[in-house]
Every structure is written in C-alpha cells, then in structure tokens.
C-alpha cells in the first residue's frame, strides 16, 4: 500500500507501521458497490472505474523490480473501492503481490461473475453490468489466467461451500464475455 501510494496511486496513506499494527488515512465515502446498489451510481461507469484502477495499478513498477511483472491487488472489486472527495481509493491490500497483470484482471472478473451468477446475492443485479463494462475496458488477455484465478479463488479459506459451487458458472460467464 505504501509502495503504490508513494507512486501516486489512490490508496490510503500509511502513517505508521509497528509490527501487526497499521495506522493509515481515514477515508470518508461509500464503497463503489454501495453507491451502485443504493445511490444509483451507474453500473457501467463502475465497471470502467474498476478497469481504470487496474490500468493505473499495472502501470506502476513492481516491487520485485522485474519488468515483466506488475503490482497486483488480487481483490479489486466494488466493495474495496471507496468513493472519496479525492476520487476512488482502493483499500484492502492484504493479497497484494507482484505478477502478471492479466491474473489481477481475471481475478476481479471471477469475483464479479461469482456475484452475478448468485441470485441470492444482494449485488447480483448490478454485478452483471459492472462485469460487462469492466472486461472490455480492462483490456489485456484475462482468459489466459482464468484457470489460475479460479484456482486461487477456490483456495480462499473464507469461501463458503455455496460460493465454491458458483465458480464454474462464474468462469463460464467470464469466458463468454471476454471472447
């Protein structure tokens, strides 16, 4: 988070770190997901916001110094974007690492598709148009990393059995939209 914020990326400023304790900037504003769901924020615009954040993040130099890698967030979705007075700010950097940009895009697409194919999810109705706008705007070749993104998502210990069952349908939705 400190690495990308120092390079001008919209992430919360880190004020201090002491072991597991982190003091960072307080952000005020709704999440992008809440804004689309409750406040009428345009879902197509939300997809483009996510794509823009990916594009800007992947343009930054990786901490590894490897020019073939990008900074990856690996959890970039509407609930991790806070709409502040200074613009969208990306939060929750727990999974951040370096790697191929297409993996990050594929991972976001899987998350969005997983919500879109779950009729019981409160954001199911808005996730589909967000995904449909996100994929073409994000660019790259996310299908080449789709299998890896699905496997990474399936390995998440916080996923419920019901969420895991949706991964096949989510991957099919991403494949259909990315072709």
Q: Which domains does the chain have, with CATH numbers?
A: 2-178 (3.90.1200)
- Note the pLDDT tens digit of each residue in 115-131: 999 999 999 999 999 99
Q: Looking at the predicted structure, is the pLDDT value of residue 179 above 90? A: no
Q: Give the count of alpha carbons within 13 A of 62, CB side only.
A: 16
Mean pLDDT score, 65-70: 95
Q: Which pLDDT score, from 0 to 100, does residue 88 have?
A: 98
Q: Token digits for 161?
A: 């059995």
Q: Measured between alpha carbons, how far is 21 from 2 in angstroms, rounded to an integer?
A: 14
- Note the pLDDT tens digit of each residue in 5-38: 999 999 999 999 999 899 999 999 999 999 998 8
The whole model's pTM is what? 0.96
Contact 67, 16 (CB under 8 A): no
Q: Which pLDDT score, from 0 to 100, does residue 40 have?
A: 79
Mean pLDDT score, 89-103: 97
């Amino acid at each position: 988070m400190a690495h990308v914020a120092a390079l001008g990326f919209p992430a919360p400023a880190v004020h201090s770190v002491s072991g597991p304790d982190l003091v960072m900037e307080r952000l005020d504003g709704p999440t992008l997901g809440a804004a689309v769901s409750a406040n009428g924020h345009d879902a197509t615009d939300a997809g483009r916001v996510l794509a823009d954040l990916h594009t800007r993040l992947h343009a930054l130099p990786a901490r590894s110094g490897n020019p073939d890698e990008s900074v990856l967030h690996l959890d970039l979705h509407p609930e991790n974007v806070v709409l502040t007075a200074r613009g969208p700010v990306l939060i929750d950097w727990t999974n951040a690492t370096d790697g191929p940009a297409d993996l990050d895009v594929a991972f976001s697409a899987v998350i969005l598709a997983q919500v879109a194919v779950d009729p019981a999810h409160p954001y199911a109705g808005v996730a589909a148009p967000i995904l449909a706008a996100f994929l073409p705007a994000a660019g790259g070749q996310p299908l080449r990393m789709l299998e890896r993104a699905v496997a990474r998502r399936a390995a998440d210990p916080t996923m419920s059995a019901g969420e895991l069952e949706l991964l096949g349908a989510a991957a099919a939705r991403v494949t259909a939209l990315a072709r």
